[in-house]
A and B are shown apart, each in its own frame.
Chain A
């Protein structure tokens, strides 16, 4: 029942992303709060509803963004799949989160590059990685620290362990 908090929380994250974090840009990149939240959530060892959260988050961002919705879903589902794999393989939650975040940001660059390529839009790969992907990655990592504390506490509240 506590996992129903996903709806208001992810709704708030989507609003914050569009109203605030998309405006706080470094060069042409900005932090992806939804990716950060989903990466931390999906890699948490006790979380049982990672896929559901990812689908809700992807749906909200797809609604807000002009980026094609199948690519938006891929952008969040692939990192979640990676997170599920890493959760079983790695014991460190922080390390798993950072790997997922790094991969997710690179994936964002790749999908954007692919989309622009299909549209035959004029762009240079160095611009995409120098002005969008790298600054976005830096901002994502900077934002992960405070988000990690909050989302981990939330996950511990939603899925209380035996020791609590």
Chain B
């Protein structure tokens, strides 16, 4: 009985203490203490949480690197593919621009019949300035036919097989073209060289040659049609002691970037060699 009384008393005291504490807490008496405990709690939990996250990151990082490397490889492959596409498209755009310019040129000169051909090679000898094109006798090409681009004169067909031809450029050391200066109407001869430089020879001393003058084919000799642009005068050399003036020419055609050319099919070169007098002993 005594034991039962003692336990009831203990329970009552305990409830009273708890009730008292709660009453004090609701009354706001524990606020400083609870604030301190709360702050300590949050700080401790924040520290533990951040350490946990750091450890978790450390443990899971290698997996991320593998995934990232894989993704990086995929993206690099994609970039390479896109770069190849960009280059291909740029090439197509460049080709289209050249073709459009060639079409404009052929429309501007409707009297001529043209055959477009791609430059597929160059002469293996560095002394010879020739290109090989992918059109031949099957396409109507014949020896001697003039070759042009929208920029100007390229040269003439020198050898033909069924589906390819070799074109002698006007820069070849064996090439000579009869030309005239557009402004002064002076006749001259354009000569190529081993270094691909063009020079104007046989310019009369009294002719007025100005730097920048446009030079066109004259049509003399019947090898090339007249009035095809060839280049611009870059430099004039005039010496009183010499019979003729000389000039250096900047070609209108960029021979290093030659990719597509037009062969004039309906121009038949005239062979004037039988008319040239020969010395008989």
Contact = CB atoms under 8 A, between A and B. Distances in A.
Interface of A: 14-15, 17-19, 22-23, 25, 28-30, 32, 34, 61, 64-67, 72, 108, 112, 115-116, 119, 121-123, 127-128, 131-132, 136
Contacts, number: 85
B124 A18 contact: yes
B121 A64 contact: yes
Contacts of B159: 66
A32 B127 CA distance: 12
Contacts of A112: 125-127, 194
7 contacts: A15-B121, A66-B128, A66-B159, A72-B125, A112-B127, A119-B173, A123-B195
Contacts of B123: 18, 22, 64-67
Interface string B173-188: 1100000000000000
Contacts of A122: 173, 191, 193, 199
A119 B174 contact: yes
Chain A binding surface SS class: helix
Interface of B: 120-128, 130, 132, 158-159, 166, 168, 172-174, 191, 193-196, 199
Contacts of A108: 125-126
B127 A115 contact: yes
Nearest to A112: B127
A40 B227 CA distance: 50
A28 B195 contact: yes
Given A14-B124, A119-B173, A123-B173, 9 more contacts: A18-B123, A22-B123, A61-B124, A66-B158, A67-B124, A116-B194, A123-B194, A131-B194, A136-B126
A147 B66 CA distance: 40
